[in-house]
Amino acid sequence: RAGWIVFCDADNLLAPSFSVELFNRTSAGTYLRTLRDTRWGTRRHNVPLACETATFWSVGGYDDAFDGWGVEDREFIDRLSRSGIREVLGPANLVDTLRHGNAERSSLYEHGIEVSMAINNYYCQIKQRYFETTERWFTDEQRYSTYKRVKLAVLDSLADRESETIFEIPIIDSVPPWTARLAARSVRQFRDTKCEFLARLAQMSAES
């Protein structure tokens, strides 16, 4: 089994020097992300991401309850950080990205980007809050059950623009009982904000 794993998106183009830079910059107990230059300054890519295979399994790997586009990389990075794994940054020239629109990003998913991001964002928030208050990560059964409940709550919130429902999302088998609450109004505000942001981003990309 390989000692290190590198996770990439399908639109990532790694530089020929990527593997050399990876091993020059990392050591045991670290993981690698790369920088990227944007019009807003230097930011960090969520992927590519490289970590030791043992580290990947020790924090539970990627959460396969996630469906659709977005957030799963950020949630995995959050668990690495909470586990004390140190982040190492590589330069922006280690990776390039094939340019494409949002339609290509979400064409094979059940829901569009904005809806997927809403579902995944709220699931991620609940999962992290549960850990912060109980010091336990979800079991497999809790992950799948909670994601399903969050998905239904988000879809119901978006289906009725006038809904003021507060959805209760109980975490199964939690001791003591633990319940998250999700407001329909907040879900719609989140989705609308993401729609506006993605529209502006697409316009700026077309103008560049």
The amino acid that residue 55 corresponds to is: T
Q: Cβ distance 82 to 31 under 8 Å?
A: no
Q: Structure tokens of 90?
A: 């590589």
Task: Determine the Cα–Cα distance for residues 30 and 27; give it in Å rounded to an integer.
Answer: 6
Domain with CATH 3.90.640 in the chain: 103-207
| Burial state string for 160-171 with b = 16 or more CB within 10 A and e = fewer than 16 | eeebeeebebeb
Cβ-based burial of 66 (10 A; exposed 0-12, middle 13-18, buried ≥19): buried
Q: What is the pLDDT along the chain (208 residues), one digit of tens a residue?
A: 789 999 998 889 999 999 999 999 999 999 999 998 887 788 998 999 999 999 999 999 999 999 988 899 999 999 999 999 999 999 999 999 887 666 666 666 788 888 999 999 999 999 999 999 999 999 999 999 999 999 999 999 999 999 999 999 999 999 999 999 999 999 999 999 988 876 776 666 555 5
- CA within 13 Å, CB half, 58: 12
The fold of 103-207 is: Actin; Chain A, domain 4 (3.90.640)
* HSE (side-chain half, CA atoms, 13 Å) at 65: 25
Q: At 177, is the secondary structure helix, strand, or coil?
A: coil
Q: What's the pTM?
A: 0.89
C-alpha–C-alpha distance, residues 55 and 77, integer Å: 12
Which residues fall within 8 angstroms of residue 137, CB to CB, at 6 or more apart?
Answer: 60, 79, 127, 130, 131
